[in-house]
Amino acid sequence: MHRRRFLGLAAATGAAALAGADNAPAFRPPALPQPLGLYHPAEAKARKLIIPTDVPDRFKVKVMEFNPVPAPDPATWQLEVTGLVDRPIKLRVADLKHFAMVNQASRLKCVQCWSAKIQWEGFRAGELLKLVRPKKSATHVRFDCADMYYDYVSLDELLHPRTLFALKMNGEPLTPEHGAPLRVVIPFKYGYKSSKLICKITLLDHGGQGVVADTWPYYSQSGNIEPGYDHPYDYPGQTRKIKGGEITEY
């Protein structure tokens, strides 16, 4: 299972995803392996789980797709921020570049046991929220993405000092495959919580399950990185034991 590759899901769930998570009709999801992140390689082998062995260029990250879609056109793309806010807004790519930019090195950890350390560049959520002025009742946000992916995080998690809205990775603008024009990076959560191709952010007074947890119950709603094992791409052939939360030891 790649984080966002759900084979055949577009036909089965396209209408459901567009309609939203809360009232999506039931469907039979494709069979996927359980997450590998908790298992030592020997135990994973005994359980007949597959640990990825392909190692990409250290400056790239495995591309995880949901539904194949045309690349968003930066000239026409807009980010809508709405919901429980005093000032709903729509922003273009050029508007985002006016925010205070920060650089952050953090590891993207996949629930399927691999990880890669990336130099991200982008802005903190506070830059965006101070424009829309969230209402006191707002506690969560929902991300909706160009490929019909959706997910929820709490407002506290969005405002965490390590959460970042990314526009660049490793010194280059994001490619559509890696989430352009805008993705969120939450390094203390598995990669499926770092939504890509974001086109709408809705502030809500409740949370919910994202498309992954909605579809495969053994993927947690929180997506918090748990203690277990990691196979970092930048340390080929090595297995690292991790304590849970953001990986900062290497």
Looking at every residue in the chain, the average pLDDT score rounds to 82
**Confidence at residue 34, expressed as pLDDT on a 0 to 100 scale:** 53
List strands edge to edge, sheet with 198-204. 89-91, 79-83, 198-204, 140-145, 150-154
pLDDT band at 69 (very low <50, low <70, confident <90, very high): confident
pLDDT at 44: 52
Segment 23-36, tens digit of pLDDT: 444 434 444 445 55
Per-domain residue ranges of the chain: 9-242
Banded model confidence at residue 65, pLDDT cuts 50, 70, 90: low
| More confident position, 52 or 194 | 194
Task: With beta carbons less than 8 A apart as the criterion, state whether 183 and 195 touch.
Answer: yes
Report DSSP state, residue 220. -
- Does residue 159 contact residue 125 with C-beta atoms inside 8 Å? yes
* Separation of alpha carbons 78 and 133, rounded Å: 19
Stated pTM of the model: 0.79
- C-alpha of 100 from chain center: 22
Of residues 51 and 197, more confidence is placed in: 197
Range 168-189 burial, b when 16+ CB lie within 10 A, else e = bbbeeebebebbbbbbbbbbbb
* Residues, the chain: 250
Element (H, E) at 217: none
Residue 91 confidence (pLDDT): 98
pLDDT category at 124 given cuts 50, 70, 90 is very high
Q: What is the pLDDT of residue 35?
A: 56
Q: Token pair 């991200």 is at which residue?
A: 120
∠ CA 76-144-179, nearest 5°, is 65
Output DSSP code: residue 244. S
Q: Is the dihedral of CA 166, 170, 175, 178 positive or negative?
A: negative
Average pLDDT over residues 84-91: 98
Q: Domain spanning 9-242 has what CATH number?
A: 3.90.420.10
